[in-house]
Amino acid sequence: MKKIILLLMILSLEIKAQNKELNISIDENVETLYSVAYLSDYFLLNKHDNIFKHKLNEICKPLKDHKAVHLFDSLSANYSFNYYQPVEWVLKFSQFPETIQENNKDLTHENQSDKKRQLLSEFKKELIKFHQDSLYQKYLGSVASYKAAVLSTLNSSKSIYRLPVYLEDYYGKSLMSYNLIVSPLVHSGGFNIELEDANQSKEVYAVIGPNGEVDFIPYFDKDYLEYDMILHEFGHSFVNPLLLKYSEDIELLSQRYYTDDLENAGKQQGYSKWKYVFNELLLRATTICIVKRHISKEKAEKLLMYEKSIGFSLVELFIKHLDDYESNRDKYKTFDDYYPNLIEKLKVS
């Protein structure tokens, strides 16, 4: 009987997986932006050598003096236009080669200075000119077959399209869309981006760079891409709202857990405040739990070992408490339902 029930559960999951769309692409807006970033020697680029960099150096070297390159350099160096911000900004536009109009989205933020807004407006115009330049168009043609090869490899995976269902199964909620953008130039890591469409529905993006190259073609290791990065980046959309809702309670936990060692480990990973470290610890714990639940215990253990190696040993405590959530899904229908209990458990751990 248990085998029959398990088989029915797996079949149900497979049916849901077939109906849950994951859009995979190499986005031309992101690629144009990161081509400019590459020519400006942006610090957050992929460190692996690949054909895209070779072609940029070969064809687009004269564009290093393009105004778009100088503007990006100024914005990233002096106006905090870095990390996720440039990607979020460029995804709010319609696709090239249109005159990248705003898609009913506010492209400015109240806390931006007038100077930054002015520079962004000017940068948008110059980015269009950069994209339209004949040298850049020649570059795009020269790498088209390599883009197709990368996407073909990703689409051949038998498990990548199941990942949205694994996420929704664990968190007990659904997202409107799952959009995976891979980029040959983005650093070995990724960003979670959420945008609202005209109907105020959230479009969720995971923008991820390769973790290697094979024969100069960007390589996305299956485990790295699917279990570490995709589950992690999309997971932000489930976990981040709870960070805002329970920020005061989370801040109180800092006295118990935010040691000097953990603070240093967090800064090494790019997180300068306790609340962001807490959020990462939790997200990495849930990712490991999803991998253990749907992939394998061995892969989950490998992820945990990595977290310990970078100073995030506290992830193991989070996993221990998440066992209560997983064992009582009749009581906790969603991860949101369980979150307050997790905080209470951490107060006395």
Report the alpha-carbon angle 94-38-277, nearest 5.
80
What is the structure's pLDDT at 249? 96
What six digits make up the tokens of 87?
A: 């990607």
Over pLDDT 70: what percentage of the chain? 89
Q: Which residues share a beta bridge with 195?
A: 203
Q: Is the pLDDT of residue 174 over 80?
A: yes
Residue 100 is predicted with a pLDDT of 52
Reply yes or no on whether the pLDDT at 94 is more than 90: no
What does the DSSP assignment read for 30-55? HHHHHHHHHHTT-SSB--S--HHHHH
Confidence band (pLDDT; 50, 70, 90) for 197?
confident
Tokens at 17, concatenated: 């997986």
Full-model pTM: 0.85
What pLDDT, in 10s, does the model give residues 58-83?
A: 999 999 999 999 999 999 999 999 99
pLDDT at 7: 39
**pLDDT value of residue 101:** 52
Residue type at 83 in one-letter notation: Y
Helix (H, G, I), strand (E, B) or coil at 300: helix
Residue with tokens 């967090």: 266
**Count of C-beta atoms within a 10 Å radius of residue 79:** 16
Q: Is 23 exposed, middle or buried (0-12, 13-18, 19+ CB in 10 A)?
A: exposed
CA 184 – CA 76 distance, rounded (Å): 20
Burial of 329 (0-12, 13-18, 19+ CB in 10 A): middle
Cα 132 to Cα 40, 71, 127, 143, 229, distances in angstroms: 18, 17, 9, 16, 33
User: Percentage of the chain with pLDDT > 90?
Assistant: 80
Residue 306 tokens read as 């990595």
Could you tell me which residues are beta bridge partners of residue 196?
Answer: 202
Strand partners, 24: 180
Mean pLDDT, all residues of the chain: 89
Q: Are strands 190-196 and 202-208 parallel, antiparallel or unpaired?
A: antiparallel
Per-residue model confidence as pLDDT tens digits over 8-43: 343 334 434 444 689 999 999 999 999 999 999 999
Q: Is residue 327 classed as helix, strand or coil in its secondary structure?
A: helix
